[in-house]
Amino acid sequence: MKKHINLAGFAIAIGGAILFSTKAIFVKLAFHSTNTDAVTLLSLRMLFSLPFYILIAFFLSRREGVNSISPKQWFYIGLMGIFGYYISSLFDFIGLQYISAGLERLILFLYPTFSVLLNSIMFKTRINRVQFIALLLTYIGIGLAYYGEFRIDTSNPNFFFGSMMVFLCSVTYSFYLMGTGRLVNKVGAARYTAYAMLFATLGIFLHYMVTKPLSGFVFTPTLVSYGAVLAIVATVIPSFMISNAMKKIGSNNVSIITSIGPVSTIIQAHYILGEKIFTEQIIGTILVVIGVLLIGWRQHNKV
């Protein structure tokens, strides 16, 4: 069923998208201000997010009339949590060490196109003309922005590696979205998100313990501050805002509105991080946003 956009739902969706887009900015600032690495910063983000999702999972599980979760569903929730919030986030944080926040957001924003392609390959759904045009515009836009960034950032030896990490983040996140679409109606959106986050947190903590000695972790005030801000401002608050907006105006409307994400990141990166805004980036961003909007519009009209 289609839902109409009201002012409150629109404002909440915009606010959530902007807060989500601050993640790349805070990660870049943390890397610049401290000597931390991707695994440590990601672990801190999840550590500060953990209490919120434990409380959500606890209270939702005690509600009357809540459907029980089968062992098979638990397995897939765990798998999706690992893909969506552990592996995907790890690739993203690693990539942000080597490329700009603006380029990271554009590459990451390819995930709706990957979902279309994966559905076509795995579930034999046909790519229609509108989707084909959307895919074409999106990848031309990314190519333009990528060329412009590469032309400016010629001295970065890890440019391609960082780009590949964010690209893998987008691919693994699209797998998460595909699985989520088949689980969230059975489990419930808030409960599913909380459980998936708990599984992802377990994966991240295990990764940290295997790869790094606990005795070597130094809780500096600056590092802890960035971990807390990433968790609360760029993760927990916007996740609740987006969930609330979905209830008010529907998931398809939210997905279209949140197309503002790359634009928000590029503007913030320019004024906060001093990243350059160049012609190829502007044209590429416009093409990518139009492509994603076309995909969202097509899905909206199917509902």
In a domain, 132, yes or no: yes
In tens digits, the chain (303 residues) has pLDDT values of 455 567 888 888 889 889 999 999 999 999 999 989 999 999 999 999 999 989 988 888 777 667 788 899 999 999 988 988 899 999 999 999 999 999 998 888 887 777 777 777 776 777 788 878 888 888 898 889 888 888 887 678 899 999 999 999 988 888 887 777 778 777 877 788 889 889 999 999 999 999 887 776 777 899 999 999 999 999 889 888 887 787 777 666 776 777 788 888 999 999 999 998 889 999 998 998 888 778 766 555 554
Q: How many CA atoms lie within 13 A of 46 on its CB side?
A: 28
In a domain, 1, yes or no: no
Spacing of C-alpha 279 from chain mean position: 26
Residue 217 CA: distances (Å) to CA of 32, 36, 43, 203: 18, 10, 11, 18
Range of the domain at 29: 7-302
For the chain, how many structural domains are there in total? 1
Q: How many CA atoms lie within 13 A of 49 on its CB side?
A: 33
Residue 70 carries which DSSP code? P
The rounded distance, in Å, linking the Cα atoms of 206 and 216 is 16
In a domain, 265, yes or no: yes
Residue 157 carries which DSSP code? T
The rounded distance, in Å, linking the Cα atoms of 170 and 51 is 27
The rounded distance, in Å, linking the Cα atoms of 277 and 280 is 9
Buried-exposed string 136-158: b where 16+ CB fall within 10 A, e elsewhere: ebbeebbebbbebbbeeeeeeee
In a domain, 2, yes or no: no
Cβ distance 27 to 93 under 8 Å? yes
| pTM for this entry | 0.85
